[in-house]
Amino acid sequence: MGYLLTLFFFVWFLNLLGLTPLGINVTGNIAVTFCLALITFVITNISGKKEYWKHIFWMPGVPWPMKIVLAPIEFLGVLIKPFSLMIRLYANISAGHIVLMSLISLIFVFKNFIGSSLSFMLAFSISIIEILVAALQAYIFTVLSALYFGFAVEEHDHDDH
């Protein structure tokens, strides 16, 4: 729980800091999101119980020819989960900043009062949405990390198999 709370507030604070005029878009850097996803990956795999790995490599209740086909796919899923965390945070934060900077640049392109004021209003509206996106991305990254941790430490009952 401590890691998840730290992760949420860390990502949220960095996202909000990136929205300030002199702030640096830290979560828009792929190296930072890679490190966050790597820490989640390591915690998930270290805390994973025997049943977690059994469900990945030799799923109970599945016919053995299908187990041979599904085991590599499930192992690939273990590697794709942190990659999707990394790309999701990086792409969403970067895309918002790119859109915002494009709208701000339109102020200088139009060079008239009507076009510049419309671009400013649109940029201001997108800035408000970016504040929501900052919290939402922190929440999504944290919830998915918690979900991966939950899958790894879940207690399984296979009396019915």
DSSP 24: -
pTM of the model: 0.83
Q: 48-72 as b/e, with b when 16 or more CB fall inside 10 Å? A: beebbeebbeeeeeeeeeeeeebee
In a domain, 159, yes or no: no
Dihedral sign, Cα of residue 121, residue 125, residue 126, residue 128? positive
Q: Is residue 49 part of a domain?
A: yes
| Residue 127 domain flag | no
Residue written as tokens 């504040």?
131
Domain encompassing residue 78: 2-89+135-153
Q: For the chain, what percentages of helix, strand and coil (3-state, to nearest 5) are there?
A: 80, 0, 20
127: tokens are 């800035």
Model pLDDT for residues 21-52, shown as the tens digit of each residue: 887 888 888 999 999 999 999 999 998 888 87
Report the domain count for the chain: 1
Condensed to tens digits (0 to 9), the pLDDT of residues 60-74 reads 888 888 888 888 888
